[in-house]
Homo-oligomer: A and B are copies of this chain.
């Protein structure tokens, strides 16, 4: 039965557009930062929709919302799905929201069709995923999974020195339930890709098998300021010469570890920055990612060697430091298989892929079997008012979610 059920794509799209009225921006995007009046309005709209179809809605101590649809055996742990409703200051209509309303649409479809699952189902809204107003991304899921203490989350403040706790109280969303994960049967998160791969390859569904290993590094190369005119090339201590020697081998690292190896130079700055002075100091950042631990580790080694070789050859001092690292994640095989099987049933084109960005699922996966589903987004854009998806892709993703949930939760009355 599960492979024939389909969600109501018009209702899903209408709700996406309805949610986008809270904190709407003139450019078509949204400013619905965590725990603002706009966020409160969006969250309450979501809760109202859930109650309309008979869900029991509860808030926990960090403001995470759980909308529960009973199963046939409510002593069993729930299958949960969800994402976040908060946005960046100039965010879009889909990042996070799509996962929440896609989950709601699944429950609504089951309600319409009068289908009961064996395990209860819960749609979750995680508080403050974006981390832009209160500077910790994925905050609600971090507290719930035990990665962050409730008190440290409460103590986070925005630019106006308002705390998470006082803002939760102000909007009346500080719940009485413990912000601690109980037993979870399985967790699924539906999300826009936030990258260009699905669109470029013409595929509808990304079966997300994990999250990349990633780290960010800062390199400072020290040279000696010198006049561009009288100083011969061979007497210079020019950090840009080191850059010329390290950039090609660094990009080759990504080529050697293609197609999944990624290397990004986001920040490059030479000082003092005068056009007729050889710089005395060059600072760059390097972001290195790969889904496979072994290849990722090898990339790090090769990166170290490429930078040291370039600076050694020129006898320039260099400082290298890693200022951020997140270990990769391999999602749960059973959850991934449920998504795969649901996609087969619906006949959508798929691609297995690793997430390049962090999601609430990174926290959830530490306490529950977890995986994710991606749909294409226009030009790979997100965190941008122009963020966009095709209505048919939005429907496809929710259909996959529906099938996977039914497979994981079981349908009451089926064998």
Contacts and interface: CB of A to CB of B under 8 A. Distances in A.
A228 B276 contact: no
B279 A275 contact: no
B276 A264 contact: yes
24 contacts: A193-B230, A194-B229, A196-B231, A196-B235, A216-B276, A226-B380, A228-B289, A229-B355, A229-B357, A230-B357, A230-B380, A233-B258, A233-B261, A240-B268, A243-B243, A243-B247, A266-B270, A266-B273, A266-B276, A267-B274, A267-B275, A268-B268, A269-B269, A275-B285
Interface string A183-212: 000000000011111001000000000001
A154 B307 CA distance: 52
Interface residues of A, number: 61
Contacts of A247: 240, 243-244, 247
Contact of A279 (B244, B250, B266): B266
A214 B279 CA distance: 18
A248 interface: yes
A19 interface: no
Contacts of A269: 268-270, 273
A368 to B, nearest CB: 23
A348 interface: no
A293 interface: no
Copies of this protein in the complex: 2
A96 to B, nearest CB: 15
Contacts of A143: none
A251 B275 CA distance: 16
Interface string A266-294: 11111001111111001001010100000
Contacts of A273: 266-267, 269
Contacts of A403: none
A254 interface: yes
Given A233-B258, A259-B234, A278-B266, A228 B287 contact: yes
A232 interface: yes
A231 B270 contact: no
A266 B228 contact: yes
Interface of A: 193-197, 200, 212, 214, 216, 226-235, 238, 240-241, 243-245, 247-248, 250-251, 254-255, 258-270, 273-279, 282, 285, 287, 289, 324, 355-357, 380, 382
Contact of A229 (B233, B278, B289): B289
A197 B235 contact: yes
Contacts of A258: 233-234
B262 A266 contact: no
B267 A196 contact: no
Residue from A245, A287, A357 whose CB has the most chain B CB atoms within 10 Å: A287
Nearest to A196: B235
Residue from A226, A264, A289 whose CB has the most chain B CB atoms within 10 Å: A264
Contact of A266 (B233, B259, B277, B324): B277
Kindly list the 6 A-B residue pairs having the minimum CB-CB distance in the complex, ordered from nearest. Answer: A195-B230, A229-B356, A230-B356, A244-B247, A228-B264, A275-B285
B251 A229 contact: no
A232 B262 CA distance: 7
Contacts of A355: 229-230
Given A195-B230, A247-B240, A251-B244, A266 B261 contact: no
B194 A227 contact: yes
B255 A266 contact: no
A260 B235 CA distance: 12
Given A247-B244, A251-B241, A276-B216, A195 B229 contact: yes
A264 B278 contact: yes
Contacts of A268: 240, 243, 268-270, 279, 282
Nearest to A199: B235
Contacts of A227: 194-195, 356-357, 380, 382
Residue from A196, A266, A324 whose CB has the most chain B CB atoms within 10 Å: A266
